[in-house]
Amino acid sequence: MSRRILVTGAAGALGRLVVQMLHEAGDRVHALDNRREGQWPDAVAFHHADVRKRGFDQALREARPDAVIHLARVRGFEIDPAFRHRVNYEGATRAIDRSIAAGVKKIVLVSRHTVYGALPDQAQFLTEEHPPSAGRTFPEIHDLVAADLYAQGVMWRHPETETVVLRPVNIVGPTSRPLLARYLERPRTFTVAGFDPVYQVIHERDAARAVVGALAPGVRGVFNVVGCGEVPLSVLVEETGGDRIPMPEALIKVLSGRLGFPKIPQGAIDFLKHPCTVDGARFRDETGFEAEVGLAETLASARSRH
């Protein structure tokens, strides 16, 4: 039986892959985005709307979805923090609330493993029980942590709706441009001298498969999603074809946002110093999900952009 599924942020890299996968599986897909770029298959209904506005409510009425996948968000630290907060927090909470009010029975919020934070005294391979602690040194991503926690509150307040929060590790691939990929695609990539944390990566195709897998009936709760393995940041930079320039942390702080250097908050520097790794066992046990793309191919897929 074909499902009706509304995907927000559908024009993003992960969104397009998810829409494509659902479409190929025979689902009736409603793609929603406030960007118009790109082509959509004929069977996909595109809604040009913003999750924060009435256009989203109208899309909900038209689509009457069985499930909503919320991917819409903005990234980066150059943009106005208040705007980030409106889109990433208020947009997410509104999308969830309106979906529940419209009787949607399944909501998937795609969060990130970064909500745990990269802290020097933190364990590795964190389970979902570990409290998201990024706020301690990384207030700039408070919006993402808050949206993640809000969705968990919804699980208690609305048990009639299956709510899923996914926390995938760093997504890389030929089309994905998350912060890590944008960091890696610079021809010269700076790292913090004297530190080389372990990074977990997942291929964008596997990440999209995980999102689709979360739609399975009965799946609810918070899940880390891991890919095919982990490598030190230095290997990640070298394997993706960048020149690695280790710089003292003090110099990075001075240069941040100056002389053409990207703006990099302390919390982001921490991610270049300390590992933030997660345990994906719960999602694997619950849904049988295993990453299909190997480490070598995942790293190579990020290289192809150079």
Partner 1 sequence: MVDDEIRDRVGRLGDLRANPYGYDRWGASPADAARSLVVLRWLYRSYFRAESSGIDNVPGGRVLLVGNHSGQLAYDGMMVCAAMMLDAEPPRFVRAMIERFFAHVAYVNTLMTRTGQLTGVPANCERLLVEEDAAVLVFPEGERGGGRVWKDRYKVMGFGQGFVRLAMRTSTPIVPFGFVGGEEMCPSFSRMKPVARLLGVPYVPLTPTLLPVPLPARVHVAFGEPMRFEGSGEEDDDVVLPAVSQVEEAVASLLDRGLRLRGGAFFG
Smaller CB distance to partner 1: residue 56 or 195? Answer: 195
Smaller CB distance to partner 1: residue 193 or 216? Answer: 193
Total interface residues for partner 1 by CB under 8 A: 28
Spatial CA neighbour of 28 closest among 43, 11, 8, 10: 43
Smaller CB distance to partner 1: residue 144 or 272? Answer: 272
300 binds partner 1 (CB under 8 A): no
Candidate residues 140, 239, 264, 278; the one interacting with partner 1 per rule CB under 8 A: 239
Spatial CA neighbour of 178 closest among 145, 202, 196: 202
249 binds partner 1 (CB under 8 A): yes
303 binds partner 1 (CB under 8 A): no
Spatial CA neighbour of 199 closest among 121, 261, 276: 276
Of 74-82, 171-179, 259-267, 274-282: span binding partner 1 (CB under 8 A): 274-282
Candidate residues 80, 121, 217, 288; the one interacting with partner 1 per rule CB under 8 A: 121
217 binds partner 1 (CB under 8 A): no
Smaller CB distance to partner 1: residue 195 or 283? Answer: 195
CB of 231 to partner 1, least distance (A): 5
Gap between the Cα atoms of 48 and 141, Å rounded: 27
- One-letter-per-residue 3-state SS of 231-252: EEHHHHHHHCCCEEEEECHHHH
40 token code pair = 């959509």
Chain positions 36 to 55 lying near partner 1, rule: CB under 8 A, are none
CB of 221 to partner 1, least distance (A): 20
CB of 178 to partner 1, least distance (A): 21
Chain positions 179 to 198 lying near partner 1, rule: CB under 8 A, are 192-198
Gap between the Cα atoms of 199 and 43, Å rounded: 38
Q: Which residues contact 160 (CB under 8 A, 6 or more apart)?
A: 105
Candidate residues 248, 263, 290, 292; the one interacting with partner 1 per rule CB under 8 A: 248
Smaller CB distance to partner 1: residue 102 or 235? Answer: 235
120 binds partner 1 (CB under 8 A): yes
124 binds partner 1 (CB under 8 A): yes
Q: What is the DSSP string of 82-128?
A: HHHHIIIIIHHHHHHHHHHHTT-SEEEEE--GGGG---TTPPSSB-T
137 token code pair = 């040194």
Using CA atoms, how far residue 31 sits from 56, 60, 188, in Å, is 11, 11, 36
The alpha carbon dihedral of 190, 84, 35, 43 has a sign of positive
CB of 275 to partner 1, least distance (A): 7
Q: Give SS3 for 155.
A: helix
What is the contact surface with partner 1 in residues (CB under 8 A)? 120-126, 192-198, 229-232, 235, 239, 248-249, 273-275, 277, 295-296
